Amino acid sequence: MVSSALLLQDMAVYNAPDVRRVNHALKVYGFACMLGKSENLPEKEQLTLEFAAALHDIGIHAAEQKYGSSAGPYQEKEGPAIAREMLEKRGVSPEMTARVCQLIGRHHTYTNIDGQDCQLLIEADFLVNLDEDGASKETVQNVRKNIFRSTSGKTLLDALFL
């Protein structure tokens, strides 16, 4: 089985020389790993979460080029095809590839969350985005109330922002 380190390397090379986006993905990956392990995800689901976190924003450059915007819906639209190519090149199973692409294609959609891997990816991305965007305490409280569901995610959110 491929390691997430190889996908992180693929992501970094793909995004080069955009260090800011590479660092963002690395931070989301770190939080996703921590959250998944803290929530005791089964091994396969943990790996799926790690792969999705590594590649979650892989569609940003394509979205900017095609739509002139890096808005979430455009990332969700463009990211899965790019991720699929990377995952297939690394020999990731079709089943896992499909799930990772599904997660990438909805990581900015906060309704109908269809699994703990999806929930934790969204929470990990929020933990990084709230910091990078300099979110207000009010915004953090709203996100906690409306988005965060995991015990580990709430613990980190509270410790870091509240």
Predicted confidence (pLDDT) at residue 32 exceeds the cutoff of 80: yes
The pLDDT mean for the chain works out to 96
Predicted confidence (pLDDT) at residue 137 exceeds the cutoff of 80: yes
Identify the CA nearest to 113 among candidates 79, 74, 157, 147. 147
Does this model's pTM top 0.85? My answer is yes
Q: Are 86 and 8 in contact (CB under 8 A)?
A: no
Decide: residue 59, CB within 10 A, 0-12 exposed, 13-18 middle, 19+ buried. buried
Q: What is the CATH number of the domain that holds 50?
A: 1.10.3210.10
Predicted confidence (pLDDT) at residue 151 exceeds the cutoff of 80: yes
Predicted confidence (pLDDT) at residue 68 exceeds the cutoff of 90: yes
The pLDDT-based confidence of 2 (bands split at 50, 70, 90) is confident
Q: How far apart are CA 85 and CA 101, in angstroms?
A: 10
Percent of the chain, pLDDT > 90?
97
Predicted confidence (pLDDT) at residue 62 exceeds the cutoff of 90: yes
Query: Into how many domains does the chain fold?
Result: 1
End-to-end CA distance of the chain: 39
Residue 23 identity: N
Decide: residue 144, CB within 10 A, 0-12 exposed, 13-18 middle, 19+ buried. middle
How many CA atoms are closer than 13 Å to the CA of 151, on its beta-carbon side? 4
Alpha-carbon dihedral sign for residues 160, 106, 54, 116: positive
Domain, as residue range, for 19: 4-161
Predicted confidence (pLDDT) at residue 43 exceeds the cutoff of 90: yes
Q: What is the mean pLDDT of residues 125-140?
A: 97
List pLDDT tens digits, range 79-128: 999 999 999 999 999 999 999 999 999 999 999 899 999 999 999 999 99
For residue 135, the model assigns a pLDDT of: 97
